Structure 1
Amino acid sequence: MEYTISFDASLKIKKGQEKGYINHLARDVFDKENGYSLQHSNENINSKLTNENQTFVNDGNGGFKEMESIKEATDYLDKRLGTVKKKLRKDAVIARPLVIQLDKAYVEKYGESGVINGLNYAFDWVTTEFGVDNIVCASLHMDETNPHMHIMFTPVTEDGRLSQTDWFKSPATLRKQHDDLRKHMQDNDYNATNQRVTGGRKGLPITEYKMFMTMQDKITELVDRELELVDKEIALKGRKIDLDERTKELDTLALEIELKGKEKAQRVVDEAEKRAEAILRDAQQRADDIEEKAKMDAKRLRAGATALGNKTNNIANNANEMIQQSKRGRDAEMRFGDLF
């Protein structure tokens, strides 16, 4: 039995749209990381099954790892775009989402393990065709009507240009890519039909596919609208988070101001106490100096008075001695006057 395989590369992601698309692609990661599910306009999404999706991000070493955070994908995309030599235009197409889907009949026959094996074979072709370094992330969506894989491809050339036209030159190029993918799947035991099918078919059998070809534009429009709604929802939730964070910041700031006020007041008190202690010490020192000087002056005065008293006594003694000598002279003269 032949099976269809759809390959769609019609969407274009411009600067500013990448976060919304990654949130859509990696919605299982978003839900786990944020604790709530995004609202999707796609009614085929069963949010109860979203945790069964499998999402991977480029590990930067030529391989892929299980994605744990949306930031891992945005960081890798920024890093890859950082290798582009020229400044990116504001309207630059920075990514082309690729969607690969297996036939619904194949899914029903081989189940989940068959789906995983088949899409892994298809993913091998994608990394070869578009370059492993250009594959930002990929997700196996098991939460929709028919399992399929979303792949985020950023068109960076080996010589450092951002150029989607190097891979999608014309409709003929896309047809050739589809043929190459079918050949690759045939070589890996997936009996792909020669019927080319785009991702808008939603996995219907070939007999029903043509009835839905006219819906391709509407599906693309719905996806664009969903991405826009996702961006708006994230922006609203981001504002709420910002307000909550701002409130916390204001409370923290008020507490810091109060603490700083108390600290400043305490510093003023401490400084005043230090100044008072310094003034007291200085006054005490001056008092001690004055007391010491007074003692020294008193000592000098006492010494001077003692010296003066001694000198006065000496003078008095000398005067008495002179008086006595004079008296003795007069007595002698009176006594022996005739002899002289």
Structure 2
Amino acid sequence: MSFTITFDASLKVKRGPHAKNLFRHIARDVDQAADHYFPQRNVNIVPARTPLNVTRVNDGAGGFRWPVTIDGRPPSDEFDDYLKHRLRSVHRPLRRDAVLMRPIVLQLDPTWFATQNSDWRENHLSAEARRYMAAAMDWVCAEFGQPNVVGWSLHLDEYHPQIQVLMTPVTEDGRLSQMEFFKGPHDLKRQHSALRAAVAASGYDVEHRVTERSREHLSSSDFQARADRLRAGAMKLDLDIAETEAIAMRLRSRVSVVDNREAELASREREAAAAREALQQALLRAREAEQSARRAQANAVRALDDANSERSRLEQASARLESLPPYFERWLDRTTSKDGTPLRERFDRDRAKMRRQAGAPIYNDSMTPTKPRPGVEY
């Protein structure tokens, strides 16, 4: 099975901001690595894969090197610096409408990647893919002159791997002339065939037959209009696919958010149930404590009532003991018992005994006023 290879040099870059925008588009990986981010209009770009791109700028000594930041400028500005350096070799003043660059797109057949290197997104390009693309770059440098290659970038962050080359058409005698490098349909057909032969020499099973697309592109201006329409249709399809993927991503994100919210609500419901249970237990303990306090208060009131009753009884008993008629006092002081003991002494002993039994304080003689006792009469 043979495969095609894309060689697209249809774009023309003149004066104005187009060149700088193209530099920032092609060298987006090195710019972002240096913390310079510029908006990209290509919806096919997968930003997460941009760091996998490989970008090089002409070093002016027959090779290519990694672009770097100079004085804080984006690394992509090195493309502009080299372009200006190369254009200084042009002997005549540049026209206003001069074509400064012809970008070239080189791409192996997507079918080849699907069948021979289908894991390129996960495991990078295979050794064969790198060899075939290197052969294509060698052909570009040989065809247009290495000093005319401002720089190139291998893009791995789009749907299919491709090399984008920036070529400025400066002739060996110091003229800026794209027509010297793209002389017409016949010469463009030759370039297609030469590129296929160069890549086939590296082992790529290339389709040498010029397809209908190639014939129309090379020989008819109408094909460019049809190609533009096809490209616009493909871009719209890509936009629709990207939009569908974005919608699917948003839906997945919303599902994830809903799942997280449901989990959070379930957690809050469990916490609320635990809080309600704790509150019910606390209310139950509070009611039990209130009932215990009421019982203790009732017991205290009853004890106080009992104490007050006992105190009243004792006070009444003590009052009865203390309140004796005067004539009875005189009788006690004058009378003696049969054994000769004064009744006063016996009465005091008995009264003290009754006080002890009643729990009332015992008063000794020093606590009661003493009375002079008359002699005992017989």
Q: TM-score, normalised by structure 1?
A: 0.58
Residue identity in the other structure for 1:166: E
Q: Distance in 1 between matches of 2:9 and 2:34?
A: 28
Q: Distance in 2 between matches of 1:118 and 1:213?
A: 31
SS at structure 1 position matched to 2:170: coil
Does residue 10 of structure 2 align to residue 4 of structure 1?
no
Q: Distance in 2 between matches of 1:199 and 1:39?
A: 29
Q: Distance in 1 between matches of 2:213 and 2:11?
A: 11
Matched residue, 1:100: 106
Q: How does 1:297-312 map to 2 (within 5 A)?
A: none
Q: Distance in 1 between matches of 2:200 and 2:87?
A: 34
Give the Å deviation of 1:132: 0.2
Matched residue, 2:34: 33
Give the Å deviation of 1:30: 2.2
Query: Which of the numbers 83, 93, 97 marks the counterpart of 1:77?
Result: 83
SS at structure 1 position matched to 2:34: helix
Q: Which contiguous aligned blocks of 4+ residues in structure 1 show a shift greater than 6 angstroms? A: 197-200, 220-223
Give the Å deviation of 1:106: 1.8
Does residue 144 of structure 2 align to residue 148 of structure 1?
no
Query: Which of the numbers 219, 225, 246 marks the counterpart of 2:231?
Result: 219
Matched residue, 1:120: 134
Give the Å deviation of 1:221: 11
Q: How many residues align?
A: 211
Q: Deviations along 1:173-215, whole A, 9 cap, x unmatched?
A: 1111000001111111011102447999xxxxxxxxxxx9944
SS at structure 1 position matched to 2:182: coil
Higher relative contact order (CA 8 A, sep 6+): 1
1:220–1:24: structure 2 CA closer, same or farther, 3 Å change rule? farther
Q: Deviations along 1:279-337, whole A, 9 cap, x unmatched?
A: xxxxxxxxxxxxxxxxxxxxxxxxxxxxxxxxxxxxxxxxxxxxxxxxxxxxxxxxxxx
1:6–1:198: structure 2 CA closer, same or farther, 3 Å change rule? farther
Residue identity in the other structure for 1:219: R
**CA RMSD in angstroms, aligned pairs only:** 2.6
Matched residue, 1:55: 55
Q: Distance in 2 between matches of 1:103 and 1:14?
A: 30
1:86–1:23: structure 2 CA closer, same or farther, 3 Å change rule? same
Matched residue, 1:190: 204
Matched residue, 2:273: none
1:106–1:168: structure 2 CA closer, same or farther, 3 Å change rule? same
Task: State the structure with more CA Rg.
Answer: 2
Q: TM-score, normalised by structure 2?
A: 0.52
Matched residue, 2:194: 180
Q: Distance in 1 between matches of 2:57 and 2:229?
A: 29
Q: How does 1:259-338 map to 2 (within 5 A)?
A: none
Residue identity in the other structure for 2:104: L
Q: Deviations along 1:222-278, whole A, 9 cap, x unmatched?
A: 99xxxxxxxxxxxxxxxxxxxxxxxxxxxxxxxxxxxxxxxxxxxxxxxxxxxxxxx
Residue identity in the other structure for 2:24: N
Give the Å deviation of 1:218: 5.7
Consecutive unaligned residues in structure 2, runs of 5 or more = 69-74, 215-223, 236-378
Q: Distance in 2 between matches of 1:98 and 1:47?
A: 23
